[in-house]
Structure 1
Amino acid sequence: MSEVGLNASQKRILETEGSLFVSAGAGTGKTHAIVEKFFALIQDPLKRVDPLSVAAITFTKKAAGEMKERIIRHLEDLSGKPNMATEAERILNAMPFVWIDTIHGFCSRILREFSLEMNLDPSFEVLNEYQKERKIRGIVLRELDQEIGGKKPEEVKLLLNQFRLDGLIDLFIQALSRKRFEVWDIFTPRAGESEPTDEVAKAFGNLFKRILAVYEEECARDNAVDFEALLLHTLRLLDEHEGVREHLAERFHAIIVDEFQDTNVLQKRILDRFAECGKTTLIYVGDGKQSIYRFNGAEIGVFNVTREQFDETRYVTLEENYRSHEKLIDFYNRFFPKVFGNQPDRYGIAYEPLTPGKTDKEDRFSAHAGRVRLLPKAKDFAEECFNLCAYITHLIDKEHRQPKDFAVLLRAMTAVDTLTAVLERYGLPYYQVGSTNFYRRPEILSLLSLVRALYNPADEYALVQLLSSYLSPFCEEEILEMRQRDRRFLYTGLKAYVKEIGSTDSQKGLFLERIEGLRAHLPLRSIGELLREAIQDFDYDLYLATLPNGPKAWLNVKKLLEIADGFTGNASTREFLEQMAQENVIKEEEAAIESEHDDVVRVMTIHKAKGLQYPIVILPNLGFNQSPRSHIFLTDWENRLIFFSGDAEGEAGEDPVDQEDNAVRASETAKDYSELKQKEKAREYEENKRLLYVAMTRAKEEIVLSFSERPRNRQNRPAPPKKGFLPLLHTGGLIVPGTEWAPIEESEYAGLLTPAPQDLKTIRAVDQAVEPSGPSTGETVERIPQTAFPLEDRPYQKYLSPSLLTSVEKTDAQATRRILWRHEEKKTDDLLPELFKLSFGAPGYTEEVGTLVHKVLERYGDKDLSGITRETVDRLNRSFGFPDSVVEATEAKIRRVAGHPLFDDLRKAHPCFSEKPIRKLRGRYILSGTIDKLYFLDGKWHILDFKASRANPQYLERYRFQMRFYLFLVKGLVQPEPEKATLFFLDERETMDVVWDAGFEEELDRRIGDYERAFVN
C-alpha cells in the first residue's frame, strides 16, 4: 500500500517486521496506522499472505466495523486501477470472513471451530449480563442452602461467621460474575506451591470451585457460555490441546491488538499463548495514558509489563497530534508532565510529549481556537449548568458556533438531569449519550408499576406507585383516604373509595374499570400485548404528547414495548418483572430523538467520549469525586493475593481499602497484604489522572473548565471536601494550591488561559426566571426544597395561582385546598377549570366543555383546526369520560373558531409553547400559572388564553387579574417582554387585550393577604 500521507513514525510501523509495540498518543492517527499495517501484511507481493491469516482485535464491535469499512472503501478504490484490480478483488472476496473483531468475538469463533475439544455444541448461545447474573444468583442461593443443610457444613459455618449470610451470597456472586478468572487463578495451585494455610481462604476457595463447577455444568446443559467463559475456555483450549495451539499459531501470521491499554490479565494470557509459539507476530497498539477501564478489569500493569519486553528497535511512539490546535498541544505538554510525574510507578504511566501534526487542511481551526477557559466558580452544580449553557449561547451568538461544536463530559451521569433541564430551558438541542436511567423514567415507571400491580394486587409499593403515576387520576390525599378505608390491603381501599364517590367522578371509576379489565386479560396476553392494551385504554400516547418532552417519552415507551416483545409464553410476565427488577444489571439507555450526527450539544461521560473529538469540550463539576468503589474483596493478579472485606465483628460491606487486618494469603509467596491496600489507592489515583487526560484531549479547539463550591449540610456547614480532578489542577499549576478555584495569574499558562465573559449572568434562557433581587425571585420548581414548609401546610400554603387569589370565600377553603394539593402534585393544568364551579357556580356541562376545549387547543391549537373531527375529540375525551353532549359541544366550539386569524398566527409562530407552566417565588409562596399559549411572532412574545364561555362582565375583573398575573410571571423570562396578554372568548370569537400596569404588584400583595386571612389563619 502507498505510504503517501504517513509521517515518519507511521512509516516505521509499516517497515518493521516481526512483533512490535506502538504507543499512540491522543489524536495521533492510530487507527489510520493500524489499517495501513493490516494492508501491508496482506498485500506483500512476494508472500501473497492470506487475508484470513491476519487478525485485528478491537475494543468494541463498533471499532471493528469501522475498520472493516475503511478497508473495503480502500479496496474498492484499488479495484478500479488496472495493476491492482486482481489483488483488490482477491482481498475483497475474503472480507466477509476476515478476523477483525473484539477479543470475545475472536475467542467465540475459535471455540465454535474447536468445540469438540472443549465438549461444546458449536451452536452455543452467549449469555447477556442479565441472563448470567440471574443464573449465577440462583445457583449460589441453591448451593449455599444445600451446603448449610448438609452433613458437613463446617466450611460454610466458618464463612458465615466471617461474612454473614447476605455478605456471603454477595461474595460468591461477585466472585463468579466479576472476578472469576482472578479467583480461579489464585486458588489453582501451581507447581511447587502449597495450599493456602488460612482456614477462611481455604474454605472460600473450596466452595468457590464447587459452585463454579455447578455453574459450568448448567451452562453446558443449556448450551450456553457467558463472556468470561469465552475467554476461559479459549485459554484452556490453548493450554490443554497442544495440537490446536500449534495449528492456530500456523494459521495466524500476525495479530494486531488495538486499545491494548484496556486489556486484562486473562486476555493477555491468551495472546501470550500465540507469542510463545514463535510463529505469530504480535503488534500491540495502545496509549497507557488512556487506560480508564479498571472497573471492567483492565490493568495498566499489563500494558507496562508488556512494553518493557520490547527494546527501542521494536518500540514506536506516535506523537504527531492531528486533532488539537497547537496551542492546546502546548498546554498538554506543559500541564500533563506535572500531573503524571517523571518517575511513574508500576501503576502509573509516563507522559510522552505531543507535537502538532501537519495536514493539507491548515485552516481547519476557527479564529478563536486554542483557548483554555475557566468559568466563574458557582455555588452549586445547578448554577454551573446555567453558566455553561449561557457560555454556549454566548459563543453561538458571538462567534457563530453551532450546538454540534460542544461536548459536555461528565465523570458520572448522577446529576445529568439537572444539566439537561437547563439545556432545555436555554433552547439548546442536545443528544445524551449513554443515559442509563431508562427504567427510572416516569413514563416507564408508570407502566411497570401497572404490570406489577396487575400481577400481584398485594404489592402495596407497586400500587402506590401506580396511583401516583401518569396513569392515575388520584392525588396523594386520596391515596391516604384509601388507606383509611382498609389498613391491610390498599387495593380493597381503592375499590371502597371509588364506590363511595360513585358517579361524582367518572374518571376515577373508569380507572378502576380499566385496571379490573386488564387484570382479567393478564393470563391471556403476552406482556407486549398487555402493555399495548393498557396504552390504548388509558390513551397514554395522547397524554405523553401533552408533556414538555412528550416525543422522547413516547419513544421510551416504544422501546419498552420492543423489550417486552422478547418475552413470550406462560411465564412471560413473571420473567419480564424479574428482569425489570435487575435494573442495576441491565443498563438500558433511553431512546433518543436526536441523532449523534445532528446539530446538537453532546452530553456524555468521559468514558463514552473516548475515541471521539469535538471542537469545544466542557468539563463541569470538577470537584465531583465519584464514590469509592465498594469491594467485597480485592485481588492482586501479580502476587496471587486475595483480600476479603468484613469480619465477624466488623461492619458488613465495609470497604477493604480502609480496613487494617482482613487480608488472607492465598500462597506463601504473596507480599505483605498491607501493600495491597496501598496498591489499590495508587491504582485509583493514577486512573484519575488518565481520566482527566482522556477528557481534555477530546478537544480540538477549546477546553472549558467549571467548578462549584462544596455543598452544605443541614447545619449549613461545608460538606466533607470532594477531591475529584481538583488536586490534579493544583499539581498541574492551573489552580493555586490550597484553594478551590483561584487560577494562578502569573504562570506559564498566561498566554493560554482566557477569562470567561463577564456577562454570563445576563444571558438568559427562553423561560429562565430572573435572578434573585427584591421580594420576587425566579426559581424552577426543582430547585425549591420540598420541605420548605411544615408538611400539614405544604399542599395549600406553597403554591398560589390566580384562581386561588380570586377565590377567597371561607366556605370554599376545604375544597380549594383539595384542588391545590392535586395541582401541587401534578404541576400541569391551570386551576381555573377545576375552580370554575367552586367560584362561579357554572351550570350544566360548562366546566366539562371548557376542559375538553382546552385539551383540544393545547394539542392542536398551533395546527390546522379544520382537520379536527368528532373522532379526534372522542379520542381526547377517553381520559375524561364526559358524555356525548360534551363532545358535541366541544366539536361545535372548535369548528366555530377554526378560521380565526389568531390560529393563523399560532401556525406561523416559532417557538410556540402550549400549556406552559411558570413558577416564581414571592415571599413564602410560589406563584404558579399555566399559560395556554406563549409564542414568538414578528419579533415579539405573545400570551394567549382561551375562555370557553362568553365574556361575562361579572367575571371580567377576575380575567384581567389572571392575565396581568401571567404578564408578571413572564417578566424577566423572555426578551422582549410581552406588553399585553390576550383573552380569546371562543363562543363569541372575540378577543380582549389586557396590558401590564405598574400597580399590579400592590394588588397582588393585597390579594395574597386576603387569601391568608381566608384560608390560612
Structure 2
Amino acid sequence: MSRFAWTNEQAAALTASTDVLLTANAGTGKTLTIVGKIMWMLGLKTGHSEDQKHIPINTNPCKINEIAAITFNRKNAADLRQKLRHELLQSEDPNAKVLALRLEEAFIGTIHSFCESTLREHALRLGVDPAFKVLNAQLADLKKDEIVKEVILDKLDEDQPEIKALVQRFGLNNVISQTRTMLTEVRWHPERYEEWNLVLTDQQQIAECQDPKDRLTRDLTYGLYSLAHSANEKWQRQLLINNERDFDQLILEIRSLLCSQQASSALQQISSRYKILIIDEFQDTDHAQRDIAFSIGRAGRTKLFLVGDPKQSIYGWRGADITVWNEVKDRIETSGHVLSLTKNFRTDPEVIDAINTVCGPAIDDSAAKLREVGLDTSAIDYQEMEASRSPSGTAQCGLINLEASNSGGRRLEEGMKVGTHIQQLVGQTRIIDPKTNDKRPCTYQDIAILYRNRTDLDLFQRGLTEAGVPFQTSNQDWSQSTEITDIVNLLRLLNNPDDNYHALGYLRSPFVAIRDEVITRIRMSNFNESLLGQARTFLDKHTWPDYPDNPAIPELEKDALERGLKTLDKAHKLAGRMPLPDLLRQFLSESAYSVHLFLGDKKQAEEAHSNIQDFLQFTEDHRQASIEEFLELWELSLNEKPTRVSTADAEADLVTVSTIHKAKGLEWPIVFTIQNDKSVRQRSNELIPSDRAFSSSLYLKKSDNGPHNSERLAPLNMAKLEAEECRLLYVSMTRARDRLIVCGQADKKTSGFFWERFNQTHSWDEISIQPHLQQITDHHWVPLDWIDDIEAKELPPLAAEIKPPSLQFTTSATEVMTKQRSFEEWREKYEYGVQSIPAFSGHSSGRIPSQTRGKVIHGVLERIQEYEELPEILNETLSSMDTAELGTSPSLGSKYWEALEHELEEVLKSPEWKWYIEGEHYRELPFIHLVGPRNWYLGAFDLYRPSTNIDKALVVDFKTHELEKSDIEEVAKTYLPQMQIYQEAAEISQKSLVQLHFTVPNSTWPSKTSASEENTLKT
C-alpha cells in the first residue's frame, strides 16, 4: 500500500496500539482504512501520510490467524476479503504474497459465524455439545411461528380473557405477528420483564392503573407478553432437545457464557488466539455484541478496532441500538483512542456543502429533542465532512418541482418528470468516472433513484416507463418469473405426483412442452387415473393427435413426453436421498431446460439463467431440507421483501431504483431522492419496544390510548423515530458523487419529513423539465380476412352447452332489494350476468364508474384507523384494484381524486364517524342468516357497533351516491328491503338499529333523533 497517501486521521487509526473507536464519515475510505490496519498489524509497509511522512512499520506484528474481522453481512465479508487479498498481492513486501495465500486462516465473517466457530472451537471449555446444528433464519422463523400459533390456540382454549381480547381486537394473524415481535423482546431483554414474570408465576400482583385506557393497554400488552413468554419457553426447550441454535441464540448464548465465571479458561484461549478484533458497521450493533467484544478484549492481549458512522445507524427496527455507540465511546475515551475520518474523497464539494447544510441542523435538532425527553444516550451530534475532492464543474444540487395535490398523483408526476430529466442527462451531461476519475458522458447505470418504501412505487415506475427510461429495482420480484415458477411447480409435483394441477403445469412447461389439445385428450382418456398416470397410458396405447401445419410435431411431442416422464420418475426416486440443490441441477441438466432459454432474446435468457442460479443458491441455504420443508420455507420467503438486483442486469446500462436502506454502502454519480413528502408517525396497533425506563406497550389508535402511551411512551418513541429518519436522510444524500436531485413542491404546499428539512437551510436550483417525446410508430391493424372463412358446423362434444348448475340457496341483501325494486334489472344482473349501462357511465364522463367509486370508498373506510392515514390508505386501495376496474379513470393528480379525498375527509372528521369507531366495533363484518328452508341471506355489515347500556347495536351501511340533502329520504327508502334484512340478521344477537350513511352530503338516515324515520324502517 505504499502508493497511498493516507490522511493524518487515517494514519493515526492505522498505528494506534490501543483500543480504537473510529467514526468513519461517508466517503472517507472506511474499508481501505480497515485493510490498511490489517496490513499494518501484519508488519507490512503501508505507505506514507498526506504530509509525506512514512507510516512506521509495526514492531510487534501479529500472525495472519491472529486477526478477526466481523462484518455486517456475508457480502461485506467477501468484499473485505477480496480487497485485502488484492492489496496483499499488490504489495512490494515479499511476505505479502505468502500471506495472501494464507488469508483463509484469518477470521473474516459475520457475528453469527464468529459465535458459531467460537462455540465449536471451545465447546468443552464452555460445556457445549459441538455437534449442534445452526438453523437457517427462515427455517427458524417457520418453526417459531408454529409454536406461537400453538400457544395462542392453547391460551384461547384455557379461556384467558387477555388473549381473547387480543384476538378480538387485532385478529389472529396480527396477534401472531405481534407475539413474534414481543418474543424477540423477551429473549434479548429479559431483565426488563422481571416484574411481569413474577406476576406470571403468581409471586406478585400486576400493578394497578388509574386510567381505564392505560389499564386496557396494560392488559393487552401483558397478554402479549404471556404469549411470548410461553412461546419462548417452548422454543428454548425445542432447541435444547434437538441440539440446535438459531441466529439469536448463537449471540445470546456466547454472550452469556463469556460473561460467566466458568468462561475464564475459554476467554484466555480466545484472547490469546486473536491479537486484534475488528468490528465493522459498529453503529448498527447491540448490547450483546458489545459485551462479547469487551469480554474478549478485557481478558488479555486482544485489541478492539471498532469502526462505523453513528450518523448512518438506520436499522433500529431490526434491533440495532445507537446507545451502544455512545456508551462505548465514553468507555474507550478513558483507556483508548476515539478517532474520526472526516475527509470525503468521493463527493463533489458542492454536494458536500448541501449535505452539511441540510443534515447538520436536522441531526442536531433531533439530538436536542432526544435530550429534552431524557434520551441523552440516543443523541448523536453531527460531524461535518470536509471535501477532499477538487471541484469538477459537473456538480449540481437541483429540485424537480411537483404540482399534484395528492400523493398518488405526485408519484406518477414524479416518475414522469424524473424520467424526462434522466433522458436529458444521458449522453449529454458529463460526470466523473468513479474508476478512472476522468470526465465522460453520463449513462443510465450512472444514475440511482432512492425511495423510502413501496407505497405507490408502481405509479412512479409507470411514469419512468412512459418516459422511456430502462431501470432495475433492488426489490424486483424475481421469485415470480416464469422460470422460477416452473421449478417450484416441479418441486410441488415431486412432493405429490398425484397433484393434477401441478402435473398440468409440468406438461405445459418447457420441461415437456406439449400442446393443450394433447393434454386435454390425455385427461379425457381415463378419469380414474392421475394426470401423470394417464400420460403414461396414453403414450403407449393411444393415437397421437396430428398437427397439419408441421407433421414432425407429434413425434417430437411423444419424445418430449417420454423423456419428461422418465426424468420425473428418476427424480422422484432420488428425492430425499440426494440434497435438493444437487437434485435440481441434475434435473435441469437432463431435461435440457436451460437450452430453451437461449432460443429467444439473449438478454432475457441471461436474466432467466441468472434467476435460476439465484434460486439454486437459495436451495443451498437449505441443503438438508426435504422438499416439503423447502416449499414451506419458500412460501415464507415470499412474504419477505426481495433484496437483490438481478445479476444479469448488474452491469447492464440501467437506472437503479432502490430503497435507501439497500443503497447504504453504495454510490452513484447522479442520485435522485423521491417520496420526500412522506411523514413520520407512530403507527397504531404496533408494539413500542421496551427501554430501560418503560416496558413494551401496544400503541392503540389515538382515541384508545391513555396517558402512559400518549404522554410518555409515544413522545419518547417519536423522538427516536425522527432521529433515525434524519440519519436515513443523511444516508440518502451521501450516495451522490456529482449530482443530487430532490423532488418536492417549491411552494411548500405539501409537507413531508425529508422535504421540510431539505428546505429548512438550503436553497435548491429548480430544474426545468422539457417534455420527452417518444417516437410514435405506425399502427399494425388487425387483419379481418379470416371472417370470410368462417363455416357453420356442428358443435364438438367439448363445446356443447353445459347444463345449468343446481339452484343456489343463498341470496344477498342487495339481490333481494334489486328484485323487489325491478324484476327486469334483477334478471339482467343475476340471471344473465349483464351490468346496467349506468354502472359504466363514469368512463365516458371523465369519472370512474359508480360501482368502482363505491368500492374505493368502502375500501378506505374498511382499512383506515387514523385520519392522517387517508392519503396512504386511499392509494393502497387504488393499487389493490385491477386496471379494468379503474378503466380510463381520471389521472391520479386530477381534481376528481382531490374531490374524492375531500369527501372522505368530511366523513372521517364527522362526529358520527368518531362515535362509530369509539370502542368496540367491526368493519366489513360478514353474516349468514337463515330465513326459511333452503333460503339463506349472506352479506356483510360495513360497520357494526355492539350495543351498550344506553344504545342499541348499530349497523351502518355506507352509500356513495352523490346526492343533495333534500333527496336523501327518497333515495334511502329504496334501500328499506336491504335495511330490513340487516336488522333481522343483527337482531339475532341483540336489539339493533340500521343506518344509512351517505358520503355525499355526509348525512345519515334515519338520524338518531328522528323517531318517525325509525318507525318508517320498522313499518
Of 736, 753, 763, which residue of structure 1 is paired with 2:765?
Answer: 753
CA distance in 2, matches of 1:168, 1:813: 61
CA distance in 2, matches of 1:561, 1:551: 15
CA deviation profile, 1:966-1014 (whole Å, cap 9, x unmatched): xxxxxxxxxxxxxxxxxxxxxxxxxxxxxxxxxxxxxxxxxxxxxxxxx
Identity %: 22
Contact 1:107–1:230, Cα closer than 8 Å, also in 2: yes
Distance 1:180 1:128, change over 3 A: farther
Partner of 1:374: 400
Structure 1: gaps (5+ residues): 495-501, 645-654, 664-670, 711-720, 735-746, 771-775, 779-799, 820-918, 926-1017
Of 389, 395, 404, which residue of structure 1 is paired with 2:419?
Answer: 389
- 1:644-663 residue pairs with structure 2 within 5 A? 644=698, 656=700, 658=702, 660-661=704-705
Partner of 1:267: 289
Partner of 2:428: 398
Query: Is residue 662 of structure 2 the alignment partner of residue 608 of structure 1?
Result: yes
CA distance in 2, matches of 1:608, 1:315: 28
Partner of 1:439: 479
CA distance in 1, matches of 2:129, 2:319: 28
CA deviation profile, 1:486-521 (whole Å, cap 9, x unmatched): 9xx9999x9xxxxxxx97999999999999999988
Distance 1:450 1:190, change over 3 A: closer
| One-letter code aligned to 1:730 | E
Query: Is residue 783 of structure 2 the alignment partner of residue 803 of structure 1?
Result: yes
| One-letter code aligned to 2:385 | L
Question: Secondary structure of 2:381's partner?
Answer: coil
Distance 1:560 1:731, change over 3 A: closer
- 1:587-736 residue pairs with structure 2 within 5 A? 592=646, 594=648, 596-597=650-651, 599-623=653-677, 633-639=687-693, 641-644=695-698, 656=700, 658=702, 660-661=704-705, 674-707=711-744, 726-733=752-759
Of 253, 257, 260, which residue of structure 2 is paired with 1:237?
Answer: 257
Q: What's the CA shift for 1:546?
A: 5.1
Contact 1:120–1:220, Cα closer than 8 Å, also in 2: no
CA distance in 1, matches of 2:460, 2:471: 10
CA distance in 2, matches of 1:576, 1:812: 53
Query: Is residue 71 of structure 2 the alignment partner of residue 68 of structure 1?
Result: no
Distance 1:414 1:116, change over 3 A: farther
Contact 1:9–1:318, Cα closer than 8 Å, also in 2: yes
CA distance in 1, matches of 2:145, 2:444: 45
CA distance in 2, matches of 1:247, 1:36: 27
CA deviation profile, 1:589-615 (whole Å, cap 9, x unmatched): 678353534554333222222112211
| One-letter code aligned to 2:34 | I
Partner of 1:159: 163
CA distance in 2, matches of 1:813, 1:629: 64
CA deviation profile, 1:796-838 (whole Å, cap 9, x unmatched): xxxx9523598599999999xx99xxxxxxxxxxxxxxxxxxx
CA distance in 1, matches of 2:302, 2:570: 62
Query: Is residue 393 of structure 2 the alignment partner of residue 334 of structure 1?
Result: no
Cα RMSD after superposing both structures: 5.5
Q: What's the CA shift for 1:231?
A: 0.3
Partner of 1:1009: none
Partner of 1:321: 344
CA distance in 2, matches of 1:589, 1:348: 30
CA deviation profile, 1:636-678 (whole Å, cap 9, x unmatched): 233361224xxxxxxxxxx647575489xxxxxxx98852222
Contact 1:260–1:286, Cα closer than 8 Å, also in 2: yes
CA distance in 2, matches of 1:222, 1:508: 54
Partner of 2:5: 5
Contact 2:363–2:381, Cα closer than 8 Å, also in 1: yes
Query: Is residue 139 of structure 2 the alignment partner of residue 127 of structure 1?
Result: no
Contact 1:118–1:233, Cα closer than 8 Å, also in 2: no
| One-letter code aligned to 1:374 | I
Residues 163-172 or 458-467, more deviating? 458-467
Q: What's the CA shift for 1:262?
A: 0.7
Q: What's the CA shift for 1:27?
A: 0.9
CA distance in 2, matches of 1:98, 1:513: 53
Question: Secondary structure of 1:197's partner?
Answer: coil
Contact 2:685–2:700, Cα closer than 8 Å, also in 1: yes
Contact 2:69–2:109, Cα closer than 8 Å, also in 1: yes
Residues 252-261 or 803-812, more deviating? 803-812
Residues 107-116 or 270-279, more deviating? 270-279
- 1:915-926 residue pairs with structure 2 within 5 A? none
Partner of 2:206: 197
CA distance in 2, matches of 1:412, 1:562: 27
Q: What's the CA shift for 1:235?
A: 0.8
Contact 1:262–1:298, Cα closer than 8 Å, also in 2: yes
- 1:790-829 residue pairs with structure 2 within 5 A? 802-804=782-784, 807=787
Structure 2: gaps (5+ residues): 44-56, 208-218, 430-440, 536-543, 800-882, 890-1019
| One-letter code aligned to 1:256 | I
Q: What's the CA shift for 1:108?
A: 1.8
Distance 1:203 1:555, change over 3 A: closer
Contact 1:182–1:635, Cα closer than 8 Å, also in 2: no
CA distance in 1, matches of 2:565, 2:420: 50
| One-letter code aligned to 2:122 | F
Question: Secondary structure of 2:384's partner?
Answer: coil
- 1:100-111 residue pairs with structure 2 within 5 A? 100-111=108-119
Of 201, 213, 218, which residue of structure 1 is paired with 2:238?
Answer: 218
Contact 1:23–1:316, Cα closer than 8 Å, also in 2: yes
Give the alignment's TM-score, normalised by structure 1.
0.58
CA distance in 1, matches of 2:793, 2:343: 74
CA distance in 2, matches of 1:727, 1:174: 26
Q: What's the CA shift for 1:107?
A: 1.6
Q: What's the CA shift for 1:326?
A: 0.8
Of 349, 358, 367, which residue of structure 1 is paired with 2:380?
Answer: 349
Distance 1:467 1:592, change over 3 A: same
CA distance in 1, matches of 2:729, 2:330: 25
CA distance in 1, matches of 2:78, 2:531: 53
Contact 1:339–1:732, Cα closer than 8 Å, also in 2: no
Q: What's the CA shift for 1:572?
A: 4.3
CA distance in 1, matches of 2:297, 2:623: 47
Give the alignment's TM-score, normalised by structure 2.
0.58
Contact 1:431–1:594, Cα closer than 8 Å, also in 2: no
| One-letter code aligned to 2:480 | R
CA distance in 1, matches of 2:604, 2:100: 46
CA distance in 1, matches of 2:679, 2:480: 23
CA distance in 2, matches of 1:672, 1:626: 17
CA deviation profile, 1:895-944 (whole Å, cap 9, x unmatched): xxxxxxxxxxxxxxxxxxxxxxxx9xxx989xxxxxxxxxxxxxxxxxxx
* Total equivalences in the alignment: 719
Of 169, 179, 188, which residue of structure 2 is paired with 1:182?
Answer: 188
CA distance in 1, matches of 2:29, 2:320: 23
Contact 1:329–1:355, Cα closer than 8 Å, also in 2: yes
Q: What's the CA shift for 1:56?
A: 2.9
CA distance in 1, matches of 2:333, 2:712: 30
Distance 1:168 1:183, change over 3 A: farther
Question: Secondary structure of 2:116's partner?
Answer: helix
- 1:949-960 residue pairs with structure 2 within 5 A? none
CA distance in 1, matches of 2:463, 2:337: 51
CA distance in 1, matches of 2:4, 2:888: 71
CA deviation profile, 1:99-143 (whole Å, cap 9, x unmatched): 333222222221112223554332433221221112223333445
Partner of 1:552: 607
| One-letter code aligned to 2:394 | H
Distance 1:473 1:124, change over 3 A: same
Q: What's the CA shift for 1:350?
A: 2.3
Distance 1:814 1:804, change over 3 A: farther
Q: What's the CA shift for 1:186?
A: 2.7
